[in-house]
Amino acid sequence: MTLDSELVCPACRRFWHGPPGRLPYPATGERCTDPKHASSPSPAVPLIHPLVQKAYKIGVKDDRYATGHLSERFSWVTGEAHKHMMGLSLGAEQLVGVATDRRWLNEPGPGADVEGLHVRWTPRDNGGLPIARKDIDDGLPWVLVTGEQLELFEIRGWAYYDEVCRSEHWRADWQYPAWCRPQRMLRPLSTIPPLGGGLV
């Protein structure tokens, strides 16, 4: 299932757009809302947004991301696996940009990944929102994306830095200890604060 991305109708090839956090799923068998295709027996199928695909390719090929804070997150893998994880991480950032209608910043530095947002990706579907010791609290929300492939990405929710960086979320057992807030404690993406605003 794909969350906060796009689905394309196999009949009319048009994209379905939905509000953040709520889109029609292929598993439901929902069909095209176009009256001309209402009787179509084919459910919508997942489609990877082209901007997400582009971001993935940048992560794999762009030498700007070969070193620095993003590369360090995946220092436990090397070679093609490292490039693949870099690509998935950047694809997750762009997915959040698409879902929130914000610009992906495409910057290898430690600041925001999308306008007004930090994004963290993990391949584990049950993974929590991680924040490392090196990360800095700049008051911006942190968004979690999971999925081991682009087509399996799901935006799980968001939290503020001080909500994640609490003693009960500290994972000293990890190879690189960090804070990690469970998914069940994250806010839905639909409640993300507007740029320059407070909680909605």
Of the candidates 15, 183, 13, 18, the one whose C-alpha atom is nearest the C-alpha of residue 4 is: 18
Q: How many CB atoms lie within 10 A of CB 168?
A: 7
Q: Is the pLDDT of residue 171 over 60?
A: yes
pLDDT in tens, 51-82: 898 999 998 888 777 767 677 777 777 788 88
Of the candidates 88, 113, 111, the one whose C-alpha atom is nearest the C-alpha of residue 102 is: 113
Q: Please state, in angstroms and rounded to a whole number, the distance separating the CA atoms of residues 6 and 73.
A: 28
Q: Please state, in angstroms and rounded to a whole number, the distance separating the CA atoms of residues 99 and 6.
A: 9
Q: Which of 9-23, 81-95, 114-128 has the lowest mean pLDDT?
A: 9-23
Q: Which ranges in the chain belong to alpha helices (H)?
A: 50-61, 69-73, 79-100, 161-164
Rounded mean pLDDT, 161-173:
96
Rounded mean pLDDT, 91-110:
90
pLDDT at 37: 46
Of the candidates 104, 120, 111, 114, the one whose C-alpha atom is nearest the C-alpha of residue 153 is: 120
Global model pTM greater than 0.95: no
